[in-house]
Structure 1
Amino acid sequence: MNKDLQLSIIDISLFLVYVAALIAIAYWVSRERDGHDKDSKDYFLAGNSLPWWAVGASLIAANISAEQIIGMSGSGYAIGLAIASYEWMAAITLIVVGKYFLPIYFKRQIYTMPQFLEERYDARVKTTLAIFWLGVYVFVNLTSVLWLGALAVNTATGIDMLYGMIFLGAFSVAYSLYGGLKAVALTDIIQVVVLILGGVILSYICLDLIGAGRGVFSGVMTLMDQAPGKFNMILERDHPHYVSLPGISVLVGGMWVMNLSYWGFNQYIIQRTLAAKSLEEGQRGITFAAYLKLLMPIIVVLPGIAAVLLAPELDRPDQAYPTMMQLMPEGVKGLVFAALVAAIVSSLGSMTNSIATIFTIDLYSSVKPGATEKHYVRVGRWVSLGALVAAMICAKPLLGNFDQAFQYIQEFTGFFTPGIVALFLLGMFWKRATANAALVAAVGSAVLSLAFKLLFPELPFIDRVGVVFIGCLILPILVVIWEQAGEHRNSVDLADIKFTTSRSYNAHCVSVSLILAAFYVTWW
């Protein structure tokens, strides 16, 4: 199989039209009425004007990027359908976030996660976590998206990795730097449509090839018959990849902690819901995103599993998705390639905007208060650009030697997420939680994770996350008892929060849960 995708003139033309159209639409939706300049609320939170469909689409577009498409397809190739637990469990997590976390954020008019920590605890907690998140977003998230995105472009077209990263970064800057979150969120509906359409077409053609032209159903049956081990959702202890997805723990253990951290307390994800027109509109967007998450394994995992039969001799699992793109007919290749690039640049735009938001609102404005709104927006744009350049420089040294980058990202973030989830949950739902207790949870998470990693290296990282999370709940409680602290002066008044949700939201919750249960029963 040739390394290069050999895009035709039709494919290239289709892709270039998509690029030009997206940039033009981004500038059109970002325009301001006469006499009005963008202020920080417009740039970082889209002026709290996003409708539910933009919220839901933007959540998925921010989430589904190179690390999901390339990384999860690679894990699908190596592990199988079990890796879809990250997608399917995220659907039910979104429902929880919409019902229990979003009402608190809206009631307290939260713009950023560090802002919540400062209002609930103190400036020390805010600054500590803000610096941590900036480091993770630049040196883990941005680098992974750029590196895996460039790998996809390289495998598909033969373009050098460096030039691929420069192209992806320049594209994301061209459509997102001027308009900020509004440009990103309102164009994300286009990105998601292209992503889903291209992904479904790719999966269809792969399955049809496996079924020898007899259709998708025949392809699925053939794939399940010839690669049965790839369709086990719950891995047994003797499975070679049990350490990555340790059996029942994906349903009741540390994966909940990972998902709650990502979907509930992660700035570049939750920022979309905070920009919604209202709480109800944000919750509608979350249910829309939950249904899309149930669909995602068809787009990101199935091509990787199909590659087990169609390209069994790959050098690296992360080459599975780009290699499957080579099977596409002329014209469709351009659409699938556009879908892949859409996922990459939408995540880059989302991440750089959130980096700029945290830096400008939570750190820079404290150092230089009282500056003009125009100044803060300008600083945000320069920070976005600087973050991209830094990620490009660091991408190869950090990720160049990993076969399954998605698993690496999950394990690295797993060192810190138990403490983050613990301090947020305690801050929201326990009135006695103090700033010192929150700092102990944050620091304790890294210390305990490292200790378990060194002392019990055979312990699966998802199980380690669950155990460390329990420790990160116990340690702050002991600190509060030692401090003899009463109710914190900044505690959340839960009696003043409306947790009741609409009938439609509750119906969607039941629907998502039943679909999820059906998936696990089918492929247990």
Structure 2
Amino acid sequence: MTAGFSTLDYIIFGAYAALIITVGLWVSRNKKGKEKTSNDYFLASNSLTWWAVGASLIAANISAEQFIGMSGSGYAIGLGIASYEWMSAITLIIVGKYFLPVFLKAKIYTMPQYIVRRYDNRVRTILAVFWLLVYVFVNLTSVLYLGALAIQSIMGVPLLWGVIGLAAFAAAYSLYGGLSSVAWTDVIQVIFLIGGGLATTYLALNAIPETHGVIQGFKYLIHEAPQKFHMILHKGNPYYMDLPGISVLVGGMWVANLYYWGFNQYIIQRALAAKSKSEAQKGIIFAGFLKILTPLIVVIPGIAAFVLTKDTNLLATLGPAAHQHLPSAQHADYAYPWLLGLLPYGVKGIAFAALAAAIVSSLASMLNSTSTIFTMDIYKQFKKDATERNLVRVGRTTAAIALLIAVAIAPMLQTLDQAFQYIQEYTGMVSPGILAIFLFGLFWKRATSNSALWAAIFTIPVSMFFKFVFPQVPWMNQMGYSFLIISAIIVIISLLEKKTESKAIPVSKELFHTDTAFNVGAVAITAIIATLYIIFW
């Protein structure tokens, strides 16, 4: 479906692209007489304010997998998929209060750096390799594929050229500038992302002829598709295997969320680059409020597409463009691109810029974190005398190679239906073990290096065991069971070794003290989430 971009749309999108590249290169320029160091490149010189931290967290998180993948899941499953977003807001509070202070105290660049300080180099290397494989072969490839799918659907650009174009856009400023370029341009990206996303939702709800205005449009969705407005799915629901009932509140989703927000390099790296602990925590609360808003711009459009396409009489009122590349149960990921094709000229350019902002900001974040882990946790181990200039050069080269690999693999994902579920399931192969290793490392002094090593070794085999031996068990529950088994491995081996780990990092009650702004924000977020679940139970 070629959306029919007008000259105005091209001007708007071109201006957005020029702005991002210009700002990215400008903020990362070398100061006169000062060469860029590894701290400058990988941690933005620890200069990020709370609003930059919060904006960058959301820009790194919201990508094509949300706009395209989660809208597709909204089309297929309904509002229940919003649990990933709303439970993430609660998870951010836990991360900000209990995990982040320990990491900031340790003054680390990467998550594997914490592992080597708490355990040993063997565990660090295994986890660093895990992360590199997941970032390159799951995250980068899926974001490129979904983004290119959108470009193909909206503008008629062949998938491969869309992949190459997005990769080139992200590389244009992020490879040179590092985290400074990524984080500060993310502030602009979030404005486009939220603004353009809300515009698309507004126009989608307003496109229903039987209603007048957004509120009535939303009510119409509930009336016409009540099955799409349940947060907790029952066993009879055809998508129960994706969102297994109460497990989204008390089960395996906590494994996914705590791993993602607490120990995932390309997310937590923004908080590590904050000016102070207080700025980092305020940024996390800001991100939590934005997560509450996210389903409005990525899930509701998918439900709107479902309602608009299921009624042939209603579909006929939307014009000829509405009959091209219709989303379906087998092609749910067409939902968001299909909606963009219905937008009026001018608005289409803004909405497409929002989608591009989501894609490019996440690509840039993943590239920077991939290069950070490889450079600081693998290359620097073997080249301990590497200069700052050499570390920055290796970081740039690593990001470029990772991007080329992802570009080569991305077109192979065309056989997927709901790409968002693919990302969650395969990331879930490593998240139970990584979460267990970090949690016991943070809060149990008796957890030993050998126990963490065996937990890392068994992470994928245990996950694969559940996947192939118990395929009838929802994968989210499989993730929870894997976490319990790997936790048991850590506890048993640690107790058998009968010692307190001397490398355990001391924590005190004072370390977890939070200021009034954080506490008020945390209470407000929790109350809002509880209310939403009560309304849409």
TM-score after normalising by structure 2 = 0.95
Tell me which residue corresponds to 1:318.
333
1:206 equivalent to 2:223? Answer no
Tell me which residue corresponds to 1:509.
522
Contact 2:159 2:411 in 1 (8 A): no
What are the within-5 Å matches in structure 2 for residues 6-405 of structure 1?
Answer: 6-210=4-208, 212=210, 214-312=212-310, 313-315=326-328, 316-397=331-412, 399-405=413-419
Q: Which amino acid aligns with 1:449?
A: S
Tell me which residue corresponds to 1:494.
507
Tell me which residue corresponds to 2:472.
458
Tell me which residue corresponds to 2:422.
408
**C-alpha displacement at 1:212, in angstroms?**
3.7
**C-alpha displacement at 1:482, in angstroms?**
2.0
Q: Which amino acid aligns with 1:464?
A: Q
Secondary structure (helix, strand or coil) at the match of 1:470 reads helix
Q: Which amino acid aligns with 1:307?
A: A
Q: Which amino acid aligns with 1:295?
A: L
Q: Which amino acid aligns with 2:332?
A: P
Deviations 1:223-270 (A, max 9, x none): 100011000110011000001001111000010110000000000000
Contact 1:184 1:346 in 2 (8 A): yes
Contact 2:446 2:495 in 1 (8 A): no
Deviations 1:419-451 (A, max 9, x none): 110000000000011111012222222222222
Tell me which residue corresponds to 2:320.
none
Tell me which residue corresponds to 1:474.
488
**How many residue pairs end up in the alignment?**
520
Contact 2:130 2:430 in 1 (8 A): no
Partners of 1:201 and 1:282 lie apart in 2 by 30
Q: Which amino acid aligns with 2:476?
A: I
Tell me which residue corresponds to 2:314.
none
Contact 2:163 2:407 in 1 (8 A): yes
My pick for the range that moved more, 440-449 or 355-364, is 440-449
Partners of 1:507 and 1:231 lie apart in 2 by 29
Tell me which residue corresponds to 1:522.
535
Partners of 1:466 and 1:199 lie apart in 2 by 33
Gapped regions of structure 2 (runs ≥ 5):
311-325
Partners of 2:397 and 2:369 lie apart in 1 by 13
Deviations 1:8-62 (A, max 9, x none): 0010011101111111111121123210011110000000010011100000000
Q: Which amino acid aligns with 2:289?
A: Y
Partners of 2:536 and 2:211 lie apart in 1 by 25
Question: Where do 4+ consecutive residues of structure 1 move more than 6 Å?
Answer: none
Secondary structure (helix, strand or coil) at the match of 1:494 reads coil
Contact 1:418 1:445 in 2 (8 A): yes
Q: Which amino acid aligns with 2:208?
A: I
Identity %: 55
Contact 1:73 1:303 in 2 (8 A): yes
Partners of 1:469 and 1:132 lie apart in 2 by 16
Contact 2:196 2:354 in 1 (8 A): yes
My pick for the range that moved more, 444-453 or 405-414, is 444-453
